[in-house]
């Protein structure tokens, strides 16, 4: 049974590679990437000392957490299901707990590497998305006193693990989010201990989902000069230019495991100008790592001394974009519980404080107008021997206060419910049935195409009436109130009236096809229309052209109706550009209502994306 996890892990990794190979088939990018801090904890895993019971001191950051880094990539398959791959780099200096006499068991910075793949299931699709995950991977830990495997010291030994995880993602914007996740990694080999891997990182999503609709929401903010922040605080009393157990300035400045004491901070900032601001900050921490006495004892421990700090700073920011580096100066008051290296009174464990002068550098990155992240390091100098000089590093989320007002921004300038991109008259209120154009006289011909826009007429006469019903519109009828055939007038009878002969008309029909969701004419369509224009101009007959647009069934009824009108208008515009009279051309849209083929195949849908031109030619 214990080897089945290897098969499971291999299957997950193979699935990931397959998805990497075929991911380009999806037009909407479903990838996201993340990076951040990784905390490996070997203590609360249900083993004997120096490890402990399951979940014992699960949140004891200082005694058991080993801080490192991780990077990962995630591929979404559905709205809820995804696959992630992750790599972790760390160093193990804290192994467990031997009781009150020795708060934390140290090892000599054993190298740690992990490669893991997980299948994730997310609950919810809002900003806050809790999730669970299962999977497996492979982890390497350098051998030490509690995981000896071979006679060769410092060898790197690895084994497969079966993993289970819970976490939550919070999306600050469409692209940026924060991931908080804890993973239990179970190994079936004695030389690789079971352990927890906690992750806190920033997530960047490659795609941005498109939104449809006539109305869009626009959020306007009234600028506020107040912002609040909260996050992690790391106090380091080592690289401050003092004698052992402290060290030289900036010595092992980034040694998170040996010297950083992790706590929390909150702060508030008031902007005075675009570049100048003041900040008040409060810090709560516990100091368990004081310094370094050399290779024989990698890190000097103290008994979780309480630390409190209140500080005020004047900040100067460079730039007003998303990334804003800054410097700061100020002061404050700090309290540290007495210990073996900061004894002040005969009373043990007393809390002693002193003022400090502070200098700081940092950078803020704003994801949007309200939320950002702050990374800052502060040197706090005390002039009292009982309060050591120290560094205080901060990583936190910033929230800028501002009153928001949500407005509906219309994608319909003239308010006729036809979106601007489909409105044939986007700046004039009109009728949906006529593509958003007005029809003042109500004859079914839009004003822009109506030759008699204020007099109700007939579509076939370009919107002009034919009062006497002789087939000649009033605007071309020389005798508009008398029925006739000679330009609308009766033919003068000199001889007996000839027998009336009905001149037959010739009706022809041509079709032009379009690509999916397009009204652009391709070269084939232009060739057909050029041929129609050439033949009509060469023929001296009377003619009229009726253009009827159609669409396939993909999309809403209203969307497809508007698209069919736009396609018909594109045909009309092309013909008029070839000197075909505007008055002789009428258009209409049928949307998806009159298919000529089934819409359940690509060939059928292609046949339905058409415009039909009916050309009525009457010989003179």
Per DSSP, the residues of 417-482 read: SS-TTT-SSTTS--BGGGTTB--TT-SSS-TTT-SSTTS--BGGGTTB--TT-SSS-TTT-SSTTS
Our measurement of the distance from residue 58's CA atom to the centroid of its chain's CA atoms, rounded to an integer in Å, reads 33
| Token reading at 228 | 């609040």
374, 231 Cβ separation under 8 angstroms? yes
DSSP 237: -
Is residue 180 within a helix (H) or strand (E), and if so which, with residue range? strand 176-187
Rg of the chain over Cα atoms, rounded to whole angstroms, equals: 39
DSSP 127: S
pLDDT exceeds cutoff 70 at 336:
yes
pLDDT exceeds cutoff 90 at 101:
no
Kindly state whether residues 31 and 150 are assigned to the same domain: yes
In a domain, 246, yes or no: yes
Last residue of a domain, which of 404, 429, 455?
404
Kindly state whether residues 165 and 19 are assigned to the same domain: yes
Q: Rounded to the nearest 5 degrees, what angle is found at the Cα of 536, between the Cα atoms of 535 and 541?
A: 120
Cα–Cα distance measured from residue 605 to residue 552, given in angstroms and rounded to the nearest whole number: 5
Last residue of a domain, which of 385, 404, 423?
404
β-pairing, 195-205 vs 215-222, is unpaired
DSSP 3-state assignment of 292? Answer: coil
Kindly state whether residues 112 and 201 are assigned to the same domain: yes
Last residue of a domain, which of 146, 181, 208?
208
Kindly state whether residues 181 and 267 are assigned to the same domain: no
CATH code (residue 513)? 3.30.1330.60
Q: What is the mean pLDDT of residues 488-514?
A: 60
Cα–Cα distance measured from residue 493 to residue 495, given in angstroms and rounded to the nearest whole number: 6
In a domain, 216, yes or no: no
Cα–Cα distance measured from residue 523 to residue 540, given in angstroms and rounded to the nearest whole number: 28
Range of the domain at 556: 504-620
| Per-residue model confidence as pLDDT tens digits over 527-583 | 888 888 888 777 656 778 889 999 898 888 889 889 888 998 989 899 889 888 888
| Token reading at 314 | 């004047």
| Per-residue model confidence as pLDDT tens digits over 83-92 | 999 999 998 8
User: In 3D, which of 301, 299, 287, 291 has the Cα closest to residue 352?
Assistant: 287
At residue 264, what are phi and psi to the nearest 5 degrees? -135, 160
Kindly state whether residues 37 and 183 are assigned to the same domain: yes
Domain count for the chain? 3
Q: How confident is the model at residue 491 (pLDDT cuts 50, 70, 90)?
A: low
DSSP 3-state assignment of 564? Answer: helix
CATH code (residue 72)? 2.40.160.20
Cα–Cα distance measured from residue 118 to residue 154, given in angstroms and rounded to the nearest whole number: 30
| Token reading at 392 | 């205080």
Kindly state whether residues 39 and 167 are assigned to the same domain: yes
Kindly state whether residues 160 and 16 are assigned to the same domain: yes
At residue 311, what are phi and psi to the nearest 5 degrees? -140, 150
Our measurement of the distance from residue 333's CA atom to the centroid of its chain's CA atoms, rounded to an integer in Å, reads 42
pLDDT of residue 510: 83
In a domain, 278, yes or no: yes
pLDDT exceeds cutoff 80 at 198:
yes
Kindly state whether residues 53 and 126 are assigned to the same domain: yes
Our measurement of the distance from residue 465's CA atom to the centroid of its chain's CA atoms, rounded to an integer in Å, reads 57
Q: For 575, how many CA atoms within 13 A lie in the half-sphere containing its CB?
A: 29
In a domain, 483, yes or no: no
What pTM value is reported for the model?
Answer: 0.49
Q: How confident is the model at residue 295 (pLDDT cuts 50, 70, 90)?
A: low
pLDDT exceeds cutoff 50 at 470:
yes
pLDDT exceeds cutoff 80 at 616:
no
pLDDT of residue 99: 61
Spell out the SS3 assignment of 264-320.
EEEEEEEECCCCEEEEEEEEEEEEEEEECCCCCCCCEEEEEEEEEEEEEEEEEECCC
Most confident of 227-231, 295-299, 614-618: 227-231
Kindly state whether residues 64 and 201 are assigned to the same domain: yes
In a domain, 431, yes or no: no
Our measurement of the distance from residue 154's CA atom to the centroid of its chain's CA atoms, rounded to an integer in Å, reads 44
User: In 3D, which of 462, 448, 433 has the Cα closest to residue 585?
Assistant: 462
User: In 3D, which of 115, 146, 144 has the Cα closest to residue 16?
Assistant: 115
Out of 50-59, 215-224, 539-548, 607-616, least confident range: 215-224
Kindly state whether residues 272 and 365 are assigned to the same domain: yes
Kindly state whether residues 31 and 123 are assigned to the same domain: yes
pLDDT of residue 117: 95
| Per-residue model confidence as pLDDT tens digits over 62-76 | 778 888 999 999 999
User: In 3D, which of 430, 427, 351 has the Cα closest to residue 386?
Assistant: 351
pLDDT of residue 211: 39
Kindly state whether residues 195 and 98 are assigned to the same domain: yes
């Amino acid at each position: 049974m214990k080897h089945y996890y290897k098969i499971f892990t291999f299957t997950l990794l193979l699935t990931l590679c397959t998805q990497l190979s075929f991911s380009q088939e999806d037009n909407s990018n479903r990838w996201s990437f993340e990076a951040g801090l990784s905390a490996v904890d070997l203590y609360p895993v249900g083993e004997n000392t120096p490890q402990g019971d399951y979940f014992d001191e699960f949140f004891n950051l200082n005694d058991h957490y080993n801080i490192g880094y991780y990077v990962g990539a995630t591929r979404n398959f559905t709205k809820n299901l995804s696959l992630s791959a992750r790599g972790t780099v760390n160093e193990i200096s804290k192994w467990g707990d031997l009781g009150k006499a020795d708060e934390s068991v140290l090892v000599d910075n054993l190298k740690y590497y992990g490669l893991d793949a997980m299948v994730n299931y997310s609950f919810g699709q809002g900003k806050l998305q809790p999730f669970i995950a299962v999977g497996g991977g492979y982890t390497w830990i350098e051998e030490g006193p509690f995981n000896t495997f071979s006679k060769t010291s410092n060898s790197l030994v690895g084994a497969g693990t079966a993993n289970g995880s819970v976490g939550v993602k919070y999306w600050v914007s469409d692209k940026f989010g924060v991931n908080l996740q804890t993973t239990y990694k179970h190994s079936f080999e004695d030389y690789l201990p079971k352990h927890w891997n906690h992750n806190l990182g920033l997530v960047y999503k490659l795609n941005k989902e498109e939104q449809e609709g006539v109305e869009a929401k626009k959020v306007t903010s009234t600028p506020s000069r107040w912002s609040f922040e909260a996050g992690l605080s790391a106090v380091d009393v080592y690289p401050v230019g003092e004698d052992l157990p402290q060290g030289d300035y900036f010595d092992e400045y980034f040694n998170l495991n040996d010297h950083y004491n992790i706590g929390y901070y909150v702060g508030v900032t008031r902007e005075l100008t675009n570049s100048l601001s003041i900040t008040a900050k409060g810090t709560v921490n516990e100091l368990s790592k004081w310094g370094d006495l050399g290779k024989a004892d990698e890190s000097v421990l103290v008994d979780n001394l309480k630390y409190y700090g209140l500080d005020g700073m004047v900040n100067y920011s460079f730039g007003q974009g998303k990334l804003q580096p800054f410097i700061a100066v100020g002061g404050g008051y700090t309290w540290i519980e007495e210990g073996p290296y900061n004894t002040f009174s005969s009373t043990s464990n007393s809390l002693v404080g002193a003022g400090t002068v502070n200098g700081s550098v940092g950078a803020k990155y704003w994801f949007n107008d309200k939320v950002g992240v702050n990374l800052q390091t502060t040197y706090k100098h005390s002039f009292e021997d009982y309060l050591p000089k120290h560094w205080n590093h901060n990583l936190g989320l910033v929230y800028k206060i501002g009153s928001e007002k949500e407005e509906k921004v219309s994608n319909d300038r003239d308010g006729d419910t036809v979106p601007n991109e489909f409105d044939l008259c986007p700046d004039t209120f009109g009728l949906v049935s006529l593509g958003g154009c007005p029809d003042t006289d109500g004859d079914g011909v839009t004003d822009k195409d109506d030759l008699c826009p204020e007099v109700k007429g007939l579509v076939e006469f370009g919107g002009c009436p034919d009062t006497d019903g002789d087939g000649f519109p009033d605007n071309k009828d020389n005798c508009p109130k008398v029925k006739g055939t000679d330009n609308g007038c009766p033919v003068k009878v000199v001889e007996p009236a000839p027998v009336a002969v009905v001149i037959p008309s010739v009706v022809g029909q041509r079709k032009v096809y379009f690509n999916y969701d397009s009204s652009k004419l391709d070269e084939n369509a232009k060739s057909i229309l050029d041929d129609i224009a050439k033949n009509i101009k060469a023929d001296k007959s009377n003619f009229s052209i009726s253009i009827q647009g159609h669409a396939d069934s993909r999309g809403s009824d209203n969307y497809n109706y508007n698209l069919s009108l736009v396609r018909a208008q594109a045909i009309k515009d092309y013909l008029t550009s070839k000197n075909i009279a505007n008055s002789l051309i009428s258009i209409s849209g049928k949307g998806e209502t009159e298919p000529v083929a089934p819409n359940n195949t690509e060939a059928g849908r292609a046949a339905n994306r058409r415009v039909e031109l009916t050309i009525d030619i009457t010989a003179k």
